[in-house]
Amino acid sequence: MNHTICYISKAKEGLTDLEIQEIFTTTQTRNNAENIKGILLYGFGNFFQVLEGEKKIIEDLYLHKISEDKRHSDILTIINYHIKHPIFEAYSSEFNIVKTNNQLDTIKAYLNQNSLHHLSKNIQRMLNPFLL
């Protein structure tokens, strides 16, 4: 649990609820099997994802699978670095999908710990809908 990657992306136009559900199911099953923690949210035509885990595992996943996935585009990496204190590991033993107030609090804690104030205004603005 020594690395985190966080990004926001634009869902492919016309992506159906069923297709989104498929992404959620694959993500949850595989990440739990690989001991990857974090969260995946879909809203307002965008995905927001946090991955926490072993550096090599999550970098491989991010670079070779997620970034190549045609079901989204305009992938913008917000955070990609070493962490001393994982947030999601402490919060839940599962990779999270469902959007609840509690999970949004965890996201706020994650972004605060990772110095959200250092991020550009543009990125903060893009994250706003997820944090309201």
Ligand X SMILES: Cc1cc2nc3c(=O)[nH]c(=O)nc-3n(C[C@H](O)[C@H](O)[C@H](O)COP(=O)(O)O)c2cc1C
Which residue number, 4 or 118, has a Cβ lying nearer to ligand X? 4
Which residue number, 92 or 121, has a Cβ lying nearer to ligand X? 92
Q: Which residues bind ligand X (CB under 6 A)?
A: 9, 23, 26-27, 30-31, 40, 47, 49, 61, 65-66, 69, 71-72
Q: For residue 117, what are its two tokens?
A: 């104030």
Minimum Å gap between C-beta 94 and ligand X is 13
Minimum Å gap between C-beta 31 and ligand X is 5
Which residue number, 12 or 121, has a Cβ lying nearer to ligand X? 12
Minimum Å gap between C-beta 117 and ligand X is 26
Minimum Å gap between C-beta 125 and ligand X is 20
Which residue number, 68 or 115, has a Cβ lying nearer to ligand X? 68
Closest CA to 7 of 99, 127, 129: 127
* Distance (Å, whole) CA 10 – CA 44: 9
Closest CA to 55 of 3, 9, 119: 3
- Specify burial of residue 26 (Cβ count, 10 A radius: 0-12, 13-18, 19+): exposed
